[in-house]
Amino acid sequence: MAGQKMLKFTTVDRDMPEKRVPNLRKQDFNEIYAEYARDKAAEQASRCSQCGVPYCQSHCPLHNNIPDWLRLTAEGRLQEAYEISQATNTFPEICGRICPQDRLCEGNCVIEQSGHGTVTIGSVEKYITDTAFEEGWVKPISPSVERAESVGIIGAGPGGLAAADRLRREGVQVTVYDRYDRGGGLLTYGIPGFKLEKDTVMQRMQQLEDGGVQFVLNCNVGEDLSFDAIRGKHDAVLIATGVYKSRDLPDADADGIVRAIDYLTASNRKSFGDDVEEFDSGELNAVGKRVVVIGGGDTAMDCVRTAIRQGAESVKCLYRRDRANMPGSQREVANAEEEGVEFVWLSAPARFEGDAVTGVTVQKMRLGQPDATGRQAPEVIQGADYLEGADLVIKALGFEPEDLPALWGVEGLEVTRWGTIKAEFTTGQTSLEGVFAAGDIVRGASLVVWAIKDGRDCADAILDYLSSANAVAAE
Ligand SMILES: Cc1cc2nc3c(=O)[nH]c(=O)nc-3n(C[C@H](O)[C@H](O)[C@H](O)COP(=O)(O)OP(=O)(O)OC[C@H]3O[C@@H](n4cnc5c(N)ncnc54)[C@H](O)[C@@H]3O)c2cc1C
Ligand code: SF4
């Protein structure tokens, strides 16, 4: 009886896996949460109330069958739990670690709403797939038939990789092109190890390679290889290049003022043991420095926590709205505060001092009337400026798409007024025949779980496209 094992939320309290204490965790780049022990995972999964209409599932972008894999975990049937979990999610161990669960599945758990504390869905999802890897249940893709058609995927981030996995399972020949020397996109070079250890990403890369996905790395499409050449080589193309143009501030290019993506990429490369000139020279290393990070999103949170781990003298985060109105996850703010980051709410840079930066003149703000979007607009408080000393300023103000049609010299590839690629909502079909697009390059800066969803949907649309092209050719 499922009921005997489940619905324990009235007798079993919510319990996250153990979090390492700040003084220890800030000394390295390892993840901060430990793994559940088997009994603990089963116990926590048994708190699920097995709702007839599970809101957690409907608020997961992948519509993961959460109540079923929680029940199987509670019953100790982990391999079956894994099979169900991986049927809808290409990378459950990654989503379990870095989805903002408080806004998605867990934020909509009815137990939470009844005051008992949400089921720890993300941690159980991570546990199931980590166990599957350890037990050897995760096998390389082995399609039952090989197909002749080939698909070229530009971008080895979660969107491109999710599509590669799904296409390869159907026997399609898949080549993924990426300008970096490693696959994974922002999973590898954006998101720091304390949220997502690099081995976890690399084991997926290995699984895809072992399953026959071809990778062409160090290949900047538009420079090393033209888009047209890729189109000419493959029966269909998927663009999954993400968004990398950093939003900037005026007059913010003195030495010591750096872009978040450069800073995080250098730090992640060091975690792989690479030589990184800009890090070794001190330019992108926070050690011993007074660091000011500008921004209030998840990228800013990752920068402040990276700076702490690099041994900064002090780390301050300037954000022009208040805590309640910041875009970043509250869980990450709490983690950062525990590690010693100081948040300076309602503050924005007015100007930067020094040829090599020595400080930031900070304007104090208050929240005024709501603007057209309904958010209260920040207003400057006149005469309240002050100087904040800084040796390293990190700009973490968000990302925009690069101008792909211009960079790649492609005619007819339509973009929106925000520069994202125009693509059909459910299929990712672009304005060019046989060319699809997925992930951040379509949505704008978003989430890993949405990139996976888009990649999977696009793969299905590409399979339909290949089948209909074959049918036309056979007529
Ligand atoms: C610092 C940071 C922290 C984040 N934290 C989280 C988080 O905690 N949780 C979460 O869900 N999301 C998070 N995100 C967002 C998430 O990483 C993205 O939404 C997701 O990675 C988008 O996937 P994608 O496949 O569309 O693009 P990307 O992951 O950006 O991958 C795109 C790939 O395309 C390649 N590429 C680009 N142009 C070319 C070209 N011309 N030729 C060849 N290759 C090219 C790039 O090298 C890259 O590998 C974070 C983002 C950042 C920046
Ligand atoms: S993929 Fe993300 S939203 Fe969906 S169940 Fe897992 S953690 Fe929750």
Pairing of strands 257-259, 290-294: unpaired
* Fold: same for 150-243+401-474 and 246-398: yes
Query: pTM of the full predicted structure?
Result: 0.96
> Would you place residue 1 in the very low, low, confident or very high pLDDT band (cuts 50, 70, 90)?
very low
Could you tell me the distance, in angstroms and rounded to a whole number, from the CA of residue 126 to the centre of ligand 2? 10
**Sign of the C-alpha dihedral, residues 228, 232, 233, 237?**
positive
By DSSP bridging, strand 214-216 and strand 399-400 are unpaired
The pLDDT-based confidence of 11 (bands split at 50, 70, 90) is confident
Q: What is the pLDDT, as a whole number, of residue 472? A: 77
- State the average pLDDT over residues 363-374: 89
Q: Does residue 328 register a pLDDT over 90?
A: no
Q: Which of 329, 397, 448, 452 to mutate to test the pocket of ligand 1 (most atoms within 8 A of CB)?
A: 448
Measured CA to CA in angstroms, residue 115 lies from 9, 85, 118, 164, 182 at distances of 10, 27, 8, 41, 44
What are the backbone angles phi and psi of residue 359, rounded to the nearest 5°? Answer: 180, 170
Contacts of 119 (CB under 8 A, 6+ apart): 9, 14, 44, 45, 47, 48, 56, 70, 106, 109, 111
From ligand 2's centre to the CA of 105, what distance in Å? 6
pLDDT at res. 412: 96
Q: Flag whether pLDDT at 429 surpasses 90.
A: yes
- Ligand minimally distant from the alpha carbon of residue 177: 1
Report residues whose beta carbon is within 6 angstroms of any ligand 2 atom.
Answer: 60, 62, 64, 66, 89, 95-96, 99, 101, 104-105, 121-122, 125, 449
The model's pLDDT over 15-62, given as tens digits with 9 standing for 90+, comes to 888 899 999 999 999 999 988 888 889 999 999 999 999 999 999 999
How far apart are the CA of 75 and the centre of ligand 1, in A? Answer: 37
pLDDT at 445 over 50: yes
Angstrom distance (rounded) from CA 346 to CA 364: 6
Rounded Cα gap, residues 440 and 456, in angstroms: 14
Contacts of 114 (CB under 8 A, 6+ apart): none
Class of 2-135 per CATH?
A: mainly alpha
Phi, psi of 153 (to 5 degrees): -115, 125
Give the C-alpha separation, 282 to 308, whole Å. Answer: 15
Q: Which two tokens stand for residue 392?
A: 């390293």
Report the candidate in 376, 363, 373 with the shortest Cα–Cα distance to residue 319: 363
Q: Where are the alpha helices (DSSP H) in 182-338?
A: 186-189, 198-210, 227-233, 260-271, 277-280, 298-309, 330-338
The residue nearest atom 1 of ligand 2, judged by CA position, is: 95
Whether pLDDT at 137 is above 70? yes
C-alpha Rg value of the chain to the nearest Å: 23
The closest-lying atom of ligand 2 relative to the alpha carbon of residue 104 is: 3
Summary mean pLDDT of the chain: 95
Ligand positioned closest to the Cα atom of 128: 2
Domain positions in the chain: 2-135, 150-243+401-474, 246-398
Pick the CATH number of 246-398 from 2.170.120.12, 3.30.930.10, 3.50.50.60, 3.90.1170.50: 3.50.50.60
What number is the average pLDDT over the span 209-238? 98
Q: Which residue has the tokens 């003195």?
A: 254
Of 3.30.70.3040, 3.40.630.40, 3.50.50.60, 3.40.190.10, the CATH number of 150-243+401-474 is: 3.50.50.60
